[in-house]
Structure 1
Amino acid sequence: MTTSPASSAATLASARALVAEPLSGPAFLLRGFALLGRRGIRGFMLIPLLGNVVLFGLAAAAAFYGLDAAFDRWLPEAVGWLRWILYPITAIVLLVIAFFSATIVGNLLLAPFNGLLADRVERALTGSSPSQDAGERWTATMRRALKDELRKLGYVLPRVAGVFLLGLVPFVGVLAVPLGLLLGAWLLALEFAGNPLGNWGYAFRDQRAYLRARPGRFFGFGFAAMGCALVPVLNFALIPAGIAGMTAMCLELRRADAAALPAPVAPPAPPDAA
């Protein structure tokens, strides 16, 4: 059975798309970092940036304070030398958890300001935004963001709790690690995508459907964001950079979807009157 050149080209194009989609996510996150210095965007990134720094600082302080308290209470003085061995390892694990949690919480708490940043990034990239009136944009973004975040809490908390409880089950608990990584990447992508998609009027249910239609691209973005959350200093700018990069990616997807639509067919000309 022979394969036609056209079908071979289509198969090759599909394979390239499967490889390119996950890789495009990290590329857009890097683009988001570059966009933060662009005129018209810098002023709108300050509140998400400062909020992220405060949350990271609080998370790190809580991790170290809790670690010291746990060692003081549970580690006997007779084996105090173990503290010097266990402390660095445990501290790194707790910092990873704290930094990742701070990114999720930052997206939730700073949602109204994040939506305004996404609006400004769209304006800088396209010359227009979902709402041209500044007052209308501010009040509408605040209402929409607060409503969406309440829905997201109802979506996030049961899933995080489920993975955590799964990790406590003997033997089966090993599945919590890969599931936790997948869930973390999905939640980060969903949080960042909620800003431009929410500005476009997508309800939270529609946002999830939008991401599910393009899983490779959005999971790639989420995993890249998880990696950046572990890099000192760089993680401080993760929230504004993630919003800017995700907005740019959603704009490109919207353009691609519009280009894929079939051209409208002109109606037939009316017959000439006899």
Structure 2
Amino acid sequence: MPAPVLSGPQYLREGLKLVLGPGLRLFVLLPLTINLLLFGGLIYVALHQFGMWVDTFMPELPNWLSFLNYILWPLFVALVVLIMFFTFTMIANVIAAPFNGFLAEKVEVVLRGTDDFPTFSWGELAEMVPRTFSREMRKLGYFLPRAIGLFILSFIPTVNLIAAPLWLLFGVWMMAIQYIDYPADNHKMSWQDMLAWLRAKRWQSLSFGSIVYLVLLIPGVNVVMMPAAVAGATLFWVRERGAEALVVEKRRS
């Protein structure tokens, strides 16, 4: 059956159970190590630069409006958190992409009970690097123009009040794209076809992207949940594609 509209938490929860199982732990260790190093760097940078970045984004108000600083400050703190989080998450995913793609393969093998992918070898993993790197660059090509537009919007007085909500919505959509693209790419689905497929399942995709975005904002938890997000996205792919195949089969018969 197709997934319910708000199925994101269920997929992520099941994905976490899968990656903690004995059959997949080995394929989680490398991306987990990479995530630990990168998020350690994020915390270090945040501690040293956070206040300066908030001051940079905060608009300068005349004295008679100074009371608004108490209202605006939390909003711009949230804006900086969202920008920092999303930037470092994208970097982490670019570096970990081959391992995440391979993890998505192994999750699909567990789910389907059949292995249609090549047997694991370091050579196979190395061969995945150019393909997954190219796909990550395609994601960056999709992300950067929109992120730059939102970044510029953040500096426009008054208009920048909507920047944080827009960053949040864009981040949720990008989380769905980021993780569901791994199984889609393993099946050689083109970038445009993958986007069209996600748009056709917009609410299910946003539900999954929302819960992933939320848990990845939690320090410590985010390191473990990135592999779980790969597994959850693969569950999303297998079940939704399987449901579509059944619909097509019924129409033919």
* TM-score for the superposition, normalised by structure 2: 0.82
The alignment of Structure 1 onto Structure 2 pairs a total of residues equal to 233
Paired residue type of 2:18? L
Computing the radius of gyration from Cα coordinates, the structure with the larger value is 1
* 1:26 matched to 2:9: yes
Q: Distance in 1 between matches of 2:138 and 2:217?
A: 27
Amino acid at match of 1:147: S
Which of 144, 153, 162 is 2:140 aligned to?
153
Which residue of 114, 137, 141 maps to 2:100? Answer: 114
| Superposed displacement of residue 137, structure 1 | 4.7
1:196 pairs, out of 178, 183, 189, with 183
Matches of 2:100 and 2:149 in 1, distance apart?
A: 28
SS across alignment from 1:110: helix
- Please state if 1:61 is matched with 2:44: yes
TM-score by length of 1: 0.76
Q: State whether residues 97 and 132 of structure 2, in contact with CA within 8 Å, keep that contact through their aligned partners in structure 1.
A: yes
Comparing 134-143 with 164-173, which one deviates more in the overlay?
Answer: 134-143
Answer whether contact 2:150 2:163 (CA < 8 A) is retained. Answer: yes
Partner of 1:126: 112
Q: Structure 1 residue 173 and structure 2 residue 156: aligned?
A: no
> Which residue of the partner structure matches residue 249 of structure 1?
236
Structure 1 residues 171 and 37: CA distance shift in structure 2, 3 A: same
1:259 to 230, 246, 250: 246
Q: Deviations over 1:62-84 (max 9, x none)?
A: 1111247779xxxxxxxxxxxxx
Task: Summarize deviations over 1:190-230 as a string: whole Å, max 9, x none.
Answer: 01011100001112222111111101011111111111012
Query: Per-residue deviation at 1:28?
Result: 0.5
Identity of aligned residues (%): 33
Q: Which runs of 5+ in 2 are unaligned?
A: 55-69
C-alpha separation in 2, matches of 1:108 and 1:32: 21
Q: Please show how residues 10-89 of structure 1 align to structure 2 within 5 Å.
A: 20-21=4-5, 23-67=6-50
Cα distance, 1:95–1:229 mapped onto 2, change above 3 Å: same
For 2:252 and 2:164, the matched residues in 1 are separated by: 52
Contact 1:60 1:99 in 2 (8 A): no
User: Deviation of residue 31 (structure 1)?
Assistant: 1.3
Provide the rounded CA distance (Å) in 2 between the counterparts of 1:218 and 1:99: 20
Q: Secondary structure at the match of 2:228?
A: helix
Which amino acid counterpart does residue 112 of structure 1 have in structure 2?
P
| CA distance, structure 2, for counterparts of residue 182 and residue 93 of structure 1 | 12
| Bigger mean CA deviation after superposition, 242-251 or 163-172 | 163-172
For residues 183 and 67 of structure 1, the distance between their equivalents in structure 2, rounded to whole angstroms, comes to 22
Distance 1:223 1:68, change over 3 A: closer
- Name the CA shift for 1:162/1:258 in 2 (closer, same or farther; >3 Å): same
> Is the contact made by 2:82 and 2:167 (CA closer than 8 Å) also made in structure 1?
no
Q: Aligned partners of 1:154, 1:99: CA distance in 2, in Å?
A: 18
Deviations 1:164-195 (A, max 9, x none): 11121122222222221111011111010111
Give the alignment's Cα RMSD to 1 decimal.
2.7
Residues 60 and 98 in structure 1, CA contact (< 8 A), matched pair in contact too: no
Kindly indicate whether residue 210 of structure 2 is the aligned counterpart of residue 223 of structure 1: yes
Deviation larger for 126-135 or 111-120: 126-135
> 1: distance between equivalents of 2:164 and 2:84?
16
Closer/same/farther in 2, CA of residues 66 and 177 from structure 1, 3 Å limit: closer
Which one-letter code corresponds to 2:15 in the other structure? G
Secondary structure in 1 aligned to 2:218? coil
Change (3 A) 1:208 1:59: same
Residue identity matched to 2:93: N
